[in-house]
Amino acid sequence: MGASTPAKPIEVRCPGCGEPTLYTQLNPYRPFCSARCKGVDLGAWAQESYRVEAPPSTENQDDTSS
């Protein structure tokens, strides 16, 4: 029987800087290229820079008209 060849690592763009990086277990920062890019992204989350637009919900608002 033939020997199996190892899978080719997947190359992705770093979400931080856009540089190509390998998405493998050898890259502890995946999908980022470095600790710096991972830290910048974490900081953006902590500062609530990422937001999802949604219409206002009336479900939890108090009804003061009664």
What CATH number is associated with residue 36? 3.30.50.10
In the predicted structure, residue 55 carries a pLDDT above the cut 90 = no
* Residue 12, SS3 per DSSP: strand
Query: Measured between alpha carbons, how far is 21 from 12 in angstroms, rounded to an integer?
Result: 5
- Report if residue 63 sits inside a domain: no
Give pLDDT, residue 11: 95
The mean pLDDT of 54-60, rounded to a whole number, is 77
- Report if residue 59 sits inside a domain: no
- Report if residue 1 sits inside a domain: no
pLDDT digits (tens, 9 = 90+) for 22-50: 999 999 999 999 999 999 999 999 998 88
Number of independent structural domains in the chain: 1
Token representation of residue 16: 């931080």
Domain of residue 16, residue span: 10-46
- Report if residue 28 sits inside a domain: yes
- Report if residue 26 sits inside a domain: yes
- Report if residue 61 sits inside a domain: no
- Report if residue 25 sits inside a domain: yes
